[in-house]
Amino acid sequence: MLRIFLVVLITFIATPAVSGEQETLNEAKTLMEQGHPTQAIKQLDEFLASNPDHAEARFLKGLILVHQDKLEAAIKIFEALTKDYPELPEPYNNLAVSYSALGRFDDARKALQSAITTHPSYATAHENLGNIYAMMAADAYNHALSLDKGNAAARDKLALMSELFSVGTINSAPHQSSKPATALPAQPTVAAVTPAPTATPAPSAPAIEEEDSELAMLMEEEPDEAGGTASEFEQGILSAAHQWAQAWSDKDTEGYLNHYHSKFKPSRGLSRSSWERQRRQRIAKPRFIEIEVLDAEITAISEDEAKIEFLQTYRSNTYSDESRKYLRMKREGGSWKIIREVSLQ
């Protein structure tokens, strides 16, 4: 699965922090880690009112804003940090993180190149730059398939890219710069934080496509024998798929979202909240929607998990299309729920 970059918290090398400042920052970090970002932001704003140039407090605020899906605000903070401390690579890296979460891959590339220019041995930036190029390539292959669905070469390359991004997360290890930052105020070492990536990347496929093509995942597991008779098992999966399509057609957003498993992970690293917000907008926009599930093929993975692939037809007052759709279904609370979703161009 394509995953967006994880944010790496900066480590500045400077003089020790004043005890009062350190206590305030530690309290804000604790609030963030305990799931109280609004309170953490309030505490940091109060601190920054009297310490407007404090680099770590600004950086920590930017990190919390990323965690809250407020990427534009986070970008302003990281951009300001790169101007105030151009000798440090880490603000550029986190600026690239925020850009990439918005699908602004070229801006992310430029920020990472600035990080590398500032600090050529900064391995995190080198790795993330490679990932940016790979994600840009995947977008290009996906767009090629949207224009020519019979393009076998683009399909094979996209499958290869998808397999590449399915093996692990994109560089989440914290990095400590070896360059001293003597111009900075007190900046103690802090722990790495990896909040969920957010915001909607710019789509290269038609607007109704929820997920990017991830063809390599189709063969990730061999089927086992499912419990019960095959007809009962398959009927349960097929019924769940039709109910999901019906809720979508009825523009019943809550019913539609209820068909997704609690552990469902959107593609490309979207957070669940960002994905749900995107789906609500796309379902609400057309005057009508008609979805059909045709030619379904079901494969059992275990007694509680299965795969279904089918032809999906989509029609609204603004757009119509058909594509192959892959759903991975898993039982939850006695019902079949979607745990993975892929649109096959």
Judge whether 327 and 245 are in contact, CB under 8 Å: no
Domains annotated for the chain, with CATH where assigned, are: 19-165 (1.25.40.10), 215-344 (3.10.450.50)
pLDDT at 2: 30
Instruction: Grade residue 246 by pLDDT with cuts at 50, 70 and 90.
Output: very high
Helix (H) or strand (E) holding 314: strand 305-316
Calculate the CA 320 to chain-centre distance: 27
CB 318 within 8 A of CB 277: no
DSSP secondary structure, 75-86, as one string: HHHHHHHHHH-T
Half-sphere exposure at residue 84, Cβ-oriented, CA atoms within 13 angstroms: 18
C-beta of residue 343 within 8 angstroms of C-beta of residue 333: no
Sign of CA dihedral 174, 96, 141, 241: positive
Question: 58-72, 194-208, 274-288, 325-339: which has the minimum mean pLDDT?
Answer: 194-208
pLDDT tens track for 211-239: 444 444 444 444 444 444 457 889 999 99
**List of residues 6+ apart from 302 with CB closer than 8 A:** 224, 226
Residues sharing a CB contact under 8 Å with residue 9, sequence separation 6 or more, in sequence order: 59, 60, 63, 174, 190, 191, 192, 193
pTM: 0.45
Question: Cα torsion at 189, 190, 196, 198 (round to 10°)?
Answer: -60
The residues facing 341 across adjacent strands are 327
Per-residue pLDDT, 257: 96
